Structure formats: C-alpha cells, structure tokens
Amino acid sequence: MKLVRWAFLPLLAVALVLGGCGGGAGKGNEVRIGLNLELSGQTATFGQSAKNGARMAVEKINADGGLLGKKVVLVEGDNKSEKSESSSIALKLIQQDKVDVIIGATTSGTTLAMVNIADENKVPVISPTATNPDVTVDPKTKSTRPYIFRACFIDPFQGEVAAKYAIQDLHAKKAAVFTEVSSDYAIGLRDAFKQAFTKLGGEIVAEESYQKNDKDFRSQLTRIRDAKPDVIFLPGYYQEAGIIIKQARSDLGIQVPIIGGDGFDSPKLVEIAGASNMAKVFLTNHYAADDPDPRIQEFVKEYQAKYNAIPDGFAVLGYDAVMLYADAVKRAGSTDPTKVKAALEATKDLPLVSGTITIGPDHNPIKAAVVLEYVDGKQTFRKKVEP
C-alpha cells in the first residue's frame, strides 16, 4: 500500500493545482454521475454490465422527475481494466467533467487506484463491486476513508461463505488454493477462504499461484492433482479462471468441485472453459437471476427487454450503486458532497435489487450472499447466506 500511495502523489498534486479541493460542483440544472468502469481490457464484461445497470437506473430516475428536480446525466469513462487509467479517469471526471459522484470501479485494484484522489477532492465514490476491505478502510491507519462507499459485500464474508459451503454442503476436508498473485481481489479472497476453511476444521493441502495474462497452468494443476484435494478454491477473474477450469478438466482429468468468487460472474467464463467442463463449478455472488423475489424478477424482465440478456451481478450492482446515491441525495436535499456523504453513512434498510442494505461504520453494506452452481453451463441458485 505504501508504494501505491506514493505512486499517486504526482497525480494528486496535479488535481490540487487544476481544481483545488472540494469537487462535486456539477453543472447548472444537472446532476452529473461519473462512471469509472472497465469498458475494455481484461475485465471488460464487468464494466459493460455495470454501465448497463447504471443507465437503467438513470433512465428510471429521470422518468420519475430527476433528482431534486434536476436531470441526471451520466459521464462515462473507460479505465481499460488498468490501475493507472483508473487514476486518470478519476481526475478527468472530477476536474474537467465536474461530476457530483463517481460510480466505479468494478474491481478492487482499479478502485484502490482512485480512492485517495476522490478523498482529497471530497467527491463521493460508490463502487458497485470492489470487494477488498482496503477499498473503504485504509489498512495503514485502520480508519474509514471518508468519501468511499460500496454497494457490495466484502471478501472476508465472501470467503467465509465459500469455505462454509465447501465443508458443510460439499463435505470437503482438504482444499487446494490457486491464486492470481497480482490481484488485490484474489489475494484478499484467498486469505479469507483459508482462514475460514481451517477454522472450520479443514486442511489446505496445496497452494499455487499465477500471474495476470498467464495461459498455461498445467504445471501448477499437476501439483494440485497430486495433493488430492476434495475441492479447489480459485479466487480469480473469468479470463484466466476459464482457461484453468478447461485445462483442469480436459488436460489433467481433475473432476473435484471448483469454487470461485464473484470474479467468475461473466458469460465469458463458460465460453472460455466450455460448458461441458463446468460441472461441479460454483461461485459466491451478489444475487441469483432465478431468485423469485419480485424486485429481482422485475429487474431481470426489464434488463432482458432492453439488452436481450440475463443480467449478471455487475449489472445489478451498477443499478443499485446509482440508486444508493439517489436515495442519499434525496435525504440530504442536496448534492453537496459533505451532505451526501453524511446521508450515505446514515443509509438504513434501503431496499435495492440485490437486497435490503444498511451502511455500516466502515462504509460497507450489510447484506446477504448467494452460492450458485453451473448446471449445463447456466448459473443455478443453491443457497442464500445472511451475514
């Protein structure tokens, strides 16, 4: 984290020179929502889905009369799934586009790359899906970052849900862990799973790692196979995870259950791995499209009509992040960032598509998670776990 903080000092200096502190100026009769999303690059489906959800939310808000009588406008920025681009996009949204809030980013690494910039400029950030605890709480000072919020659960909870499901539902006693070591998200989720799995009496019999954009995982998978685990925990993103699942099943003959986190939640995962290789693959996620909850089914119906696709968790949380901001603005009676920040902190029992949330003192929502299993290449609801 020390290296990250120093790396962005020049950018912070530029921000202060160009516009000074106290962002969120907006423009006239508009409420401007900036999107800092992964619209291209390694995790592009995350950003595209979140953008679709955010657009639906803005259309609904404007159809209902806008916010405080003002039209809501989206200003879209593509961080290309890169940390440095995320910093640049945040500066542009704050200093040039004068946005009132930033929605994004979808991954922990790209969100961490802009949190200091947003805090220095006092512009609220709501990440739809960045699950690493460090996003909202500075790991060095242990203090909550003042203007940073999220609409999703965090990795310690997600990792615990995965570990409990492995032991209690899959009856696993031995686990292998295979982690992308360049990802803040994967490392955080790995640590949470290991802690919970061993605390519940399980044993970690193999630990392997890989780097972003690696293509051949057969050496690590061979060592994992030789360790004879009952389950493999794979806390990575869909691009590499798809290749790993394919090589594990097709090349190494590994048939034990594989569990991932919300980083699996992309249609690309099945496309890359192949539907026939997805048996006994599970993920923890933010919602299930086949949940009979009326709010979820209404959203799924509207999303399908607009985009001709089943919404993934990133679409749902892109929508929820905008609605979380809109609710705060209404209660604050203002887009002033200090008042909106206070209103976000006071959020209690707010019904959203992904669940009813209350914001805790660490700016994280208290909400449930679900476990899904791929059946014939499609996500199927298995279990909802309350915090």
Amino acid occupying residue 63? A
Q: How far is CA 376 from CA 78, 170, 276, in A?
A: 33, 19, 7
SS3 129: coil
In this prediction, residue 15 has a pLDDT band, given cuts at 50, 70 and 90, of very low
Q: What is the mean pLDDT of residues 11-39?
A: 66
Estimate to the nearest angstrom the gap between the alpha carbon of 148 and the chain centroid: 14
Which helix (H) or strand (E) segment holds residue 166: the answer is none
Return the CATH fold of 156-285.
Answer: Rossmann fold (3.40.50)
For 74-119, the pLDDT digits (tens) are 999 999 999 999 999 999 999 999 999 999 999 999 999 999 999 9
Return the percentage of the chain with pLDDT > 90, whole number.
88
Q: What is the mean pLDDT of residues 212-224?
A: 96
Residue 152: predicted pLDDT:
96
Every domain of the chain and the residues it spans:
30-153+293-367, 156-285
CA 104, CA 35: separation in Å to the nearest integer?
Answer: 6
CATH architecture, domain 30-153+293-367: 3-Layer(aba) Sandwich (3.40)
In this prediction, residue 122 has a pLDDT band, given cuts at 50, 70 and 90, of very high
